[in-house]
Amino acid sequence: MDSLKLNNLYQHFLQCKSVSTDSRQIIPGSIFFALKGENFNGNLFAVKAIESGASMAVVDDDSLHDHPGLFKVPDVLESLQQLAMLHRRKMKARVIAITGSNGKTTTKELVYVVLKSVYQVIATQGNLNNQIGVPLTLLRILPETEFAVIEMGANHVGEIAALCSIASPGFGMITNIGKAHLEGFGGIEGVVRAKTELYKAIENIKGVLFVNQQDALLMQHSEGIIRATYGKQSSTSLINGQLLSSNPLLSIEWNETGSSYEVHTNLVGAYNLDNILAAITIGRYFDIQPERINQAIQDYIPSNNRSQLIQKKQNRIIMDAYNANPVSMTLALQNFAKLNGDKRMLILGDMLELGKESEKEHQAILDLIRDLGFQEVYLVGQEFGKLMPQDGFLWYAGVDEFNSVVSQAGIAGYDILIKGSRGIRLERVSLLH
């Protein structure tokens, strides 16, 4: 789209201040972007979107008849991204980009609540962390917005670099680099290349990184870039901390230049210590007082099936089934094994998108389950199914099959860990409802 046409689109956006991408949920007066995918074509619903209240529909189908509300462009997605790039550059908000194999969403939420205790902040909503979601988030920036916390996800090399070109972050963080989306990245080396694209983008503009000092890989790749560090107790980082308890809710102590503070959270999982320290580091970097930081973290209640403690009438459930990969699954199992209690149960779903590494990684999880001594184990999904039967483990092809058996089992008095990839849909497990 040429600059004149882009400017016309931007002037219209400044008047309506909102965009829509779903013709079934039109915001009155918004610009409708007729996006396309493998199974949908928004161009087919452009006129309907206008009739439903959209002030304009951006389309890229030349066969559409002329209509006063249609705004034709060569590519709708590219136009959405160009609009977001222009808007981001005209707004004063400081942009913080967060990516990583594990913990990026929880870290993003913690950073958001910490910054929000003092500043005007927007952040990525839900899982809008891709080539569509990042532009939509940037377009929510208002003149009074001081920070935009942008989560960036990827499953192919080059995607983080592309998202950085749209968002132009001045600050960045990689939570960690692990075995996630191996199928798309072609192996762990591809994951490293993809995630560190964020570091390169920050370096190019002489921005600032927030880095876990005890992660040797991240320290190596951030060498020579301006950075603020955090880490566990005894590290020489700017902010360091230690775990006080995790049974099951997390309590930590953190330290800064001789002062120490305790924080009691609503998060489960010792693995969240690093995510909390990251949020504290960003808060202190931007001069938020420790008391405000601590209160913000203590008040944060996780949702969306991430690190949640759900107390049901008959059982206590740790729900962490928004996503799963070998690293996050291992950490969840190790954490669960340390909880006090005599009756423990695992309900685990497949780890998806592991490609040729899938069978090996699922077998490693089965071996870990045995090593940790778990007895009551339910496995759901085709990847685990390829390795069945296994002594003492019960397997089901899907959640419906699992529910048809388990709902009649009278399970009570258990601590239950539910963990798996989102595609397995473990949020539908009957014990949760």
**Residue 313 domain-assigned (yes or no):** yes
**Residue 126 domain-assigned (yes or no):** yes
Please give the pLDDT value at position 235.
73
My answer on whether 99 and 199 are in the same domain is yes
My answer on whether 57 and 140 are in the same domain is no
Structural domain that includes position 355: 308-432
Of 46, 76, 106, which one is at a domain's C-terminal end?
76
Contact status, residue 317 vs residue 330, Cβ threshold 8 Å: no
Position 307 pLDDT exceeds 90: no
CATH of the domain at 97: 3.40.1190.10
Q: For residue 71, how many other CB atoms are within 10 A of its CB?
A: 22
My answer on whether 287 and 346 are in the same domain is no
The DSSP result for 4-62, as a single string, is: HHHHHHHHHHHHH--EES-TTSPPTTPEEE--B-SS-BGGGGHHHHHHTT-SEEEE--T
Higher-pLDDT residue of 231 and 17 is 231
Please give the pLDDT value at position 45.
95
CA distances from 246 to 189, 268, 270, 276, 342 (A): 33, 7, 6, 14, 17
Q: Which tokens belong to 210?
A: 């927030």
Tell me the sheet residues that pair with 214: none
Higher-pLDDT residue of 187 and 323 is 323
Give the contacts of 362 (CB within 8 A, at least 6 positions apart).
350, 351, 354, 383, 384, 386, 387
Band (275; pLDDT cuts 50, 70, 90): very high
Across 202-229, average pLDDT: 96
Q: What is the Cα–Cα distance from 310 to 323, expressed in whole angstroms?
A: 17
Q: Which tokens belong to 15?
A: 């008047």
Q: For residue 392, how many other CB atoms are within 10 A of its CB?
A: 11
Q: What is the Cα–Cα distance from 149 to 93, expressed in whole angstroms?
A: 10
Position 181 pLDDT exceeds 70: no
What is the number of residues in the chain? 433
Position 182 pLDDT exceeds 80: no
**Residue 84 domain-assigned (yes or no):** no
Cα 164 to its chain centre, rounded Å, is 16
CATH of the domain at 42: 3.40.1390.10
My answer on whether 215 and 292 are in the same domain is yes
Crossing angle (nearest 10°) for helices 197-204 and 188-195: 20
**Residue 86 domain-assigned (yes or no):** no
Cα torsion at 71, 73, 75, 81 (round to 10°)? -70
Please give the pLDDT value at position 286.
98
My answer on whether 10 and 125 are in the same domain is no
Average pLDDT, the chain: 94
With H, G, I as helix, E, B as strand and everything else as coil, classify residue 358: helix
**Residue 83 domain-assigned (yes or no):** no
- Residue 138 DSSP one-character state: H
**Residue 158 domain-assigned (yes or no):** yes
**Residue 378 domain-assigned (yes or no):** yes
73-77, 156-160, 408-412 — most confident range: 73-77
Lowest mean pLDDT of 211-220, 390-399, 417-426, name the range: 390-399
Contact status, residue 336 vs residue 317, Cβ threshold 8 Å: no
Segments in 146-256 forming alpha helices (H): 159-167, 182-185, 188-195, 197-204, 216-221
CATH of the domain at 358: 3.90.190.20
Position 184 pLDDT exceeds 90: no
Please work out, in degrees rounded to the nearest 5, the angle formed at the alpha carbon of residue 194 by the alpha carbons of 127 and 350.
55
My answer on whether 39 and 113 are in the same domain is no
Position 178 pLDDT exceeds 90: no
Q: For residue 286, how many other CB atoms are within 10 A of its CB?
A: 16
**Residue 81 domain-assigned (yes or no):** no
My answer on whether 184 and 120 are in the same domain is yes
Total domain count for the chain?
3
β 208-212/227-232 pair status: parallel
Cα 12 to its chain centre, rounded Å, is 31
Q: Which position has the token pair 């206008």?
A: 50
The verdict on whether omega for the bond into residue 74 sits within 30 degrees of 0, i.e. cis, is no
Across 290-303, average pLDDT: 96
